[in-house]
Amino acid sequence: ALRLRLWAENVNMGIPKEPRAELVDLRVDGKRVQPVPHESREDRYFLYSFNDAPGAHKAEADVRILESGRLVTVSASWRGGQA
């Protein structure tokens, strides 16, 4: 599974308060995917579950910074299917 946390203002102990960024698009291995938002009093994140096949993989998230409207792309790469 892939978990994505976005920038947010936090109160004491890291509990998210106000969002500072929003998710625009998420791609895994070049394919657009729809992560499920999860929010509780203690945490806020997006979760995308998938079959982690062997080999190289890449996730790319397009994120908008709310204050400026600037769009940035962040990415992560990993090798899957390894126990």
Residue 60 CB partners (closer than 8 Å, separation 6+): 26, 27, 73, 74, 75
Residue 83: the pLDDT is 57
Q: What is the pTM of this model?
A: 0.86
Q: Above 80 in pLDDT, residue 23?
A: yes
Q: Pairing relation of β-strands 16-19 and 21-28?
A: unpaired
pLDDT in tens, 26-77: 999 999 999 999 998 888 999 999 988 899 999 999 999 999 999 999 999 9
Task: Please name which of 25, 18, 17, 19 lies closest in space to residue 6, comparing C-alpha atoms.
Answer: 19
Find out whether 30 and 23 touch, Cβ atoms under 8 Å: no
9 or 31: which carries more pLDDT confidence? 31
pLDDT band of residue 11 (cuts 50, 70, 90) is: confident
Task: Please name which of 62, 58, 83, 71 lies closest in space to residue 2, comparing C-alpha atoms.
Answer: 58
